[in-house]
Amino acid sequence: MDSGTQRPGRARPAQRAEPRSVATVLRVAVVGAVALVALVAVGAVVALGATSDGIDEVTQSIEPTLDANAALLQTMTDAESGERGFIATGDERFLEAYDDALADLPDLDQALRAAAVDDAELDQLLDAQEDARNVWIEEFAEEVIATARDDRVAASRRAATGEGRRRFIALRIANDAVEAHLVGERTAALDRIDRTERRVRMATLGTIGMGVVAAFALAAFGHRQVVEPLDELNRALERIRDGDHEIVVARRGPRELRALADAVDEVARAAGTAAVEAGHREAHHRRTNRLSGAVRATLDTDEICRIAAREVCELLDAAAVDVVLDAVTPARRVRWPDPLTEEHGWAAGLEPALVRDLEEAGVVHEVGDTDAPAWAASAVLLGDRRVGAIVVADASARAWDSYDLQLLQVAGREVGAAIEHARLLEEEREVVADLHALDAARSEFVSSVSHELRTPLASIIGYTEMLLDGDAGEVAPPQRSMLDAVERNARRLLSLVEDLLIVARIEAGRFELEVGPVDVVRVIEAAVDSVDATSRRRALALTMENAPDLPTITGDARHLERVVLNLLSNAIKFTPDDGSVRVTARPDGDGVAIEVADTGLGIPEAEQATIFERFARSSISRRRAVQGTGLGLAIVRTIVEAHDGTVEVRSTEGEGTTFTVRLPRHPAPTAHRQEDS
């Protein structure tokens, strides 16, 4: 029978008689099932009763008796071993096993005699075994043990005659006879069990056959009365699940299943209603996502209002939309469509007065009629503050549903959020522009001041050198000391100016390299010469170790000399008097590696990651008031990286620091380099 139809108004067929209930159908099935189970249970009871006695006989009598008989033989074997060990060695400890074995015999005898209560033949065999055992114990073992206590040699001679062995073999023969009798009894019992099981199996098969016939009859009855109607209900539910909500389920079977068919019909109607509601919700989500994406696509406030008016008008299928911002500066009013068509001219009179109640309500609306338009409004919110409203109007007698009003509220929130986002982003851009201008002015100022300082410093150094060389007359020792101090500090100031100029060029994007062949050894020697006087004045051991096979590399010799000079100056500055500074150069792959190591103050581990940043100074240098600007290592890293190289630091606080510069033989060309002509 078909499980349903597509005609919701189909009439139910008239019922000829009151249908059975599920309880009645189940009662018939249960009675038949109970009868079937009783029939099978009787057969099982017969089978169980026929076989349980035989199984009990084997498991509770024969098997334990066999175990007791084997245990007795083992016990006597332990006694014999103890007796023979004592005769052979005279060690009383062997008699412990003998005595323990004799102590266990009464319990074993009791277990064996309990099995022979109704078995005369077994009783006789046990008597024979007991006699053989007593003969070995009393006529041999006890006597030879007693003799061995006085004369172990005589006891050994008697044991050597084989008397004890013969008597123990007689005991074994008697034990084997008992075991053979018990095995025969077990075999006979198992045969009886097997014959009984065959008879019961035949009877059980006959019972099961009758039960199968009855089961088929009951199954057919249950299938017709219950299973077929349930299958139809299941097919109807599957069609409902697949979206067929117009189905009408056929009513058949017991009363309860007919009632269930009516319930499935109700489920189909409810599922149809839920599907429609789900479609509305999905459409609402699509509309809100479209609206949110549209208003957030621009940062212009007028454009945000225009897009919001257009989207709301299209999504709500309204005649006209006003977006009014009356609490911001400047105030705005955007209308869609703009200009209004002649058809929508009635909407020109929309005023913000329509939304006077929005301070208290999130959305207000009014159903239209033939004389007045339908309208709805929602506040435009910046946080919790109302800054305007979105007003929607339609000429028809329209009732706004909950999804329309929710969309309008979303539009108010999204417009407010988009306007606030645009405002914040504009403020951020202005701040960033001001910071860029300030940074550019600072860099320009530093560059200008540095250039202005370099020329007079060069003159001071030049005239000081001329005075020291005696060009203006002989210089007395006190005067030479003063001139040395002037030259030293002038050169220090010139180095500072050079650092500032390099930093300014880096920040302005004008840092360039004059690339050409570079002799690394000459670069290192020039840097060492520059700091040699300072190191000798501080009693520092300044050493230079250059590998003989250093390759010539491509780079800017002047800037690479500043790299080595900055590292050496730092090492001398942070190394106590009488310490040591070592600079080494070696081949490193296809390039070279330059190391500057000192025995100075070291750098705390936590600060090593930031030591190459501009104006970075270690806590040790600040604590000890060591002079410096924090630019030297930043310049080192910039120059090295411009050569496609790397610079690393290894340092232990209180032990010293090692800087390693690795430079490739031929760095890749970049915009920061110009070839040396």
3-state secondary structure 394-424: ECCCCCCCHHHHHHHHHHHHHHHHHHHHHHH
- Predicted confidence band of residue 587 (pLDDT cuts 50, 70, 90): very high
pLDDT reported for residue 648:
95
Collapsed DSSP state (helix, strand, coil) of residue 543 = strand
Lowest mean pLDDT, pick from 201-215, 279-293, 404-418: 201-215
| Cβ atoms of 164 and 136 closer than 8 Å | yes
pLDDT reported for residue 2:
44
Could you tell me if 47 and 178 lie in one domain? yes
Could you tell me if 213 and 311 lie in one domain? no
Query: Is 279 inside a domain boundary?
Result: no
Q: Total domain count for the chain?
A: 3
Could you tell me if 97 and 192 lie in one domain? yes
Residues 406, 390: Cα–Cα separation, whole Å: 13
DSSP-assigned beta bridge partners for residue 660: 595, 648
Task: Compute CA 483 distance to the chain's CA centroid, rounded to the nearest angstrom.
Answer: 70
The boundaries of the domain holding residue 136 are 22-228
pLDDT reported for residue 579:
93
Could you tell me if 659 and 521 lie in one domain? yes
Query: Is 172 inside a domain boundary?
Result: yes
Could you tell me if 191 and 302 lie in one domain? no
Collapsed DSSP state (helix, strand, coil) of residue 328 = coil
Could you tell me if 224 and 294 lie in one domain? no
256-279 tens-digit pLDDT: 777 777 787 778 777 777 777 777
Could you tell me if 329 and 412 lie in one domain? yes
Query: Is 337 inside a domain boundary?
Result: yes
Tokens 């349930």 identify what position? 230
Mean pLDDT of 410-439: 81
More confident residue, 102 or 350: 102
pLDDT reported for residue 191:
83
Could you tell me if 635 and 568 lie in one domain? yes
Name the residue among 52, 321, 313 with its Cα closest to residue 192. 52
Mean pLDDT of 10-29: 56
More confident residue, 338 or 580: 580
Output the pTM of the full model.
Answer: 0.40
Task: Among 374, 399, 424, identify where a domain stops.
Answer: 424
Between the two ends of the chain, the Cα-to-Cα distance in Å is 101
Residues 561, 514: Cα–Cα separation, whole Å: 13
> CB 97: neighbour CB atoms within 10 A?
18
Could you tell me if 84 and 222 lie in one domain? yes
* 119 phi/psi in degrees, rounded to 5: -135, 95
Could you tell me if 116 and 191 lie in one domain? yes
pLDDT reported for residue 520:
94
* pLDDT for 588 beyond 80: yes
Tokens 């920061």 identify what position? 672
Residues 28, 45: Cα–Cα separation, whole Å: 26
pLDDT reported for residue 352:
44
More confident residue, 409 or 373: 409
613-663 tens-digit pLDDT: 876 666 666 665 455 567 888 889 989 998 999 999 999 988 999 999 999
pLDDT reported for residue 582:
96
Average model confidence (pLDDT) for the chain? 78
- Predicted confidence band of residue 557 (pLDDT cuts 50, 70, 90): very high
Residue 375 parent element (H or E): strand 374-382
| Domain of residue 412, CATH code | 3.30.450.40
> CB 74: neighbour CB atoms within 10 A?
13
* pLDDT for 5 beyond 60: no
* DSSP string of 189-257, one letter each residue: HHHHHHHHHHHHHHHHHHHHHHHHHHHHHHHHHHIIIIIHHHHHHHHHHHHHHTT--S-EE---SSHHH
Could you tell me if 98 and 187 lie in one domain? yes
More confident residue, 140 or 367: 140
| Domain of residue 635, CATH code | 3.30.565.10
Task: Among 424, 459, 490, identify where a domain stops.
Answer: 424
315-350 tens-digit pLDDT: 888 878 888 877 777 777 787 776 655 554 444 445
Mean pLDDT of 419-444: 77
Query: Is 110 inside a domain boundary?
Result: yes
Query: Is 432 inside a domain boundary?
Result: no
* pLDDT for 122 beyond 60: yes
In order of 258, 265, 270, the CA distances from 8 in angstroms are 17, 9, 14
pLDDT reported for residue 544:
94
pLDDT reported for residue 390:
84
Could you tell me if 212 and 289 lie in one domain? no
Encoding tokens for residue 371?
Answer: 């004389």
- Predicted confidence band of residue 177 (pLDDT cuts 50, 70, 90): confident
* pLDDT for 541 beyond 90: yes
Read off the DSSP letter of residue 58. I
pLDDT reported for residue 118:
77
Lowest mean pLDDT, pick from 3-7, 73-77, 224-228, 431-435: 3-7
Task: Among 402, 424, 446, identify where a domain stops.
Answer: 424
468-521 tens-digit pLDDT: 788 877 888 888 788 777 877 777 777 777 777 777 676 666 677 889 999 999
Query: Is 485 inside a domain boundary?
Result: no
More confident residue, 545 or 497: 545
Query: Is 409 inside a domain boundary?
Result: yes
pLDDT reported for residue 455:
72
pLDDT reported for residue 13:
45
Residues 6+ apart with CB under 8 A from 526: 561
Lowest mean pLDDT, pick from 95-99, 241-245, 260-264, 444-448: 444-448
Query: Is 277 inside a domain boundary?
Result: no
Lowest mean pLDDT, pick from 109-118, 153-162, 171-180, 555-564: 109-118
Q: Which residues of 516-538 are buried (b: 16+ CB within 10 A; e: fewer)?
A: eebebbebbbbbbebbeebbeeb
* pLDDT for 547 beyond 70: yes
